[in-house]
Copies of this chain bind each other. A is one copy, B any other.
Amino acid sequence: MKVTVSRKAHFNAAHRLYRPDWDDTKNEAVFGKCSNPNYHGHNYELIVSVKGEIDPETGFVMDVKVLKDLICSEVEDAFDHKNLNLEVPEFKNLNPTAENIVVVIWKKLRKHIKTTLDLEVVLYETPRNFVKYAGE
């Protein structure tokens, strides 16, 4: 019996949509006010889901406290109260769109989750805009 276990988490960060190989004019033409050189920011809400067999010993697919601690060490410690463009190495040469952020988070978590478990990450950039990545 395969069950999905999900955990919500949260971080705040500043960013701008920006390609360093374009000048500010082109960045603004494509990305609008999201490309403001002085940055803007978001309360990012995160839902991390793992899917797999229930361990008959514990009744858990994965101990949600372990999942919570993993999200904390891999995502919250790395991203919270940070400027994504300036301070998070993955975005030095990668435009921090919601799409790219969710893929980066998925890759960071994937390394630490058993290969028998499927992983999916949902990232809310605002209460009305969100993205999802499942490794496809």
Q: Interface of A with B (CB < 8 Å)?
A: 1-10, 12-15, 17, 30-34, 36, 38-43, 45, 49, 54, 58-61, 64-65, 80-83, 86-87, 94-100, 102-103, 126-133, 136
Identify whether the interface residues of A are mostly helix, strand, loop, or mixed: mixed
Could you tell me if B36 and A133 are in contact, using CB atoms closer than 8 angstroms? no
Q: A14-B83, A33-B80, A64-B98 are in contact. List 13 more A-B contacts (CB 8 A).
A: A2-B133, A3-B131, A8-B129, A10-B126, A12-B40, A13-B40, A13-B41, A14-B14, A14-B41, A30-B58, A38-B86, A49-B132, A59-B97
Contacting residues, chain B, for A5 (C-beta < 8 A) = 98-99, 129-131
- Give chain B nearest CB distance to A94 CB in angstroms: 7
